[in-house]
C-alpha cells in the first residue's frame, strides 16, 4: 500500500487520484502510527516551509518519517515535500527542515523576464539515470509551481535539473529517497510514468 501523508498542507487528492488512475492502491494517512505501517510513503506539499514543519510537528510525524526513511522503504517527496527533506528553509526567516538531506531551500532571484513563482511547464535535464526516471526521456516537460528551490550540499544526489534564469535541482535521489520539485500528478503522461515507477519499486 502507498501511503500519502496528510499534515494539513498538500495536494493530497490529486496525488491519490494519480495512483488510482494507474490502478495502484493508495491511501491518505494522518496519524504517526500509520507511517510506521506504510509500505511506501509519499510526502506531498503546497504552501510555506515553516507552516509545513509546524504541521508535521503538531501531528508527531517527524520521528516516524525519519524512522521510515531509515528503514530503507521507498519514500517520495513532492514539491514542498522535497524541500522539507533538507536542513534549512529561508521563507520569511530561517527554519529547520527534516534534515534528511544536507542543503538549503532558497528563493528564486528576481531576474528580468522570469516571474516568481515559477509556474507552468518546463523541461527536465537528466543528469544521471534513476529508477524513478525509467522510460522518461531527457528534456521531457513537467509542471512546476514554486518560489523556492533546493541547493543540495551533495551535488551527487541531483538527478535532474531545470533552467529558470539558471539551473536548479528538480529531482533528487539517494538510496530509497526520491523527490521532485515539480508535481508529477499534474504532469500528464510523464508524471504518471514517474508515479508508476515509484509504485513499482
Which pLDDT score is estimated for 64?
98
Which DSSP letter does residue 61 get?
Answer: -
The domain segmentation of the chain, as residue ranges, is 2-199
Positions of the chain with pLDDT lower than 70, given as ranges: 112
Which pLDDT score is estimated for 192?
98
Short-list 198, 148, 150, CA closest to 177 = 198
Q: What are phi and psi of 145, to 5 degrees?
A: -150, 100
Which pLDDT score is estimated for 35?
97
Question: Which amino acids are annotated catalytic?
Answer: 79, 183, 185
Cβ distance 3 to 41 under 8 Å?
A: yes
* CATH of 2-199 among 3.20.20.370, 3.90.700.10, 3.40.50.880, 3.30.365.10: 3.40.50.880
Which pLDDT score is estimated for 110?
80
Q: How far apart are CA 5 and CA 15, in angstroms?
A: 11
Q: How far apart are CA 31 and CA 112, in angstroms?
A: 44
Short-list 11, 10, 1, CA closest to 36 = 1
What's the grid cell of residue 159? 538527478
Residues 6+ away with beta carbon under 8 Å from 154: 101, 102, 103, 174
- The model's pTM is 0.96
Cα 100 to chain center, whole Å?
Answer: 13
Q: How far apart are CA 136 and CA 130, in angstroms?
A: 10
pLDDT tens digits along 52-81? 999 999 999 999 999 999 999 999 999 999
Which DSSP letter does residue 133 get?
Answer: G
Q: Within 13 A of 81's CA, how many CA atoms are on the CB side?
A: 27
Q: In what order do the strands lie in the sheet with 158-163?
A: 26-29, 2-5, 40-43, 75-78, 177-180, 167-174, 158-163, 125-126
Amino acid at each position: 500500500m502507498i501511503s500519502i501523508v496528510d499534515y494539513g498542507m498538500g495536494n493530497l487528492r490529486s496525488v491519490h487520484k494519480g495512483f488510482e488512475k494507474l490502478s495502484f492502491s493508495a491511501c491518505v494517512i494522518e496519524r504517526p502510527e500509520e507511517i510506521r505501517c506504510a509500505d511506501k510513503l509519499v510526502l506531498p506539499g503546497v504552501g510555506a516551509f515553516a507552516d509545513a514543519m509546524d504541521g508535521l510537528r503538531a501531528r508527531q510525524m517527524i520521528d516516524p518519517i525519519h524512522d521510515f526513511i531509515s528503514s530503507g522503504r521507498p519514500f517520495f517527496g513532492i514539491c514542498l515535500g522535497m524541500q522539507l527533506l533538507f536542513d534549512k528553509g529561508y521563507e520569511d526567516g530561517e527554519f529547520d527542515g527534516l534534515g534528511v538531506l544536507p542543503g538549503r531551500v532558497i528563493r528564486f532571484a528576481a531576474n528580468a523576464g522570469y516571474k516568481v513563482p515559477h509556474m507552468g511547464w518546463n523541461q527536465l535535464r537528466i543528469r544521471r539515470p534513476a529508477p524513478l526516471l525509467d522510460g522518461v526521456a531527457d528534456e521531457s516537460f513537467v509542471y512546476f509551481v514554486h518560489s523556492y528551490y533546493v541547493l543540495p550540499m551533495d551535488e551527487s544526489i541531483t538527478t535532474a535539473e531545470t533552467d529558470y534564469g539558471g539551473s536548479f535541482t528538480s529531482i533528487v535521489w539517494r538510496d530509497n529517497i526520491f523527490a521532485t520539485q515539480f508535481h508529477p500528478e499534474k504532469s500528464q503522461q510523464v508524471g504518471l510514468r514517474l508515479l508508476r515507477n515509484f509504485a513499482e519499486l
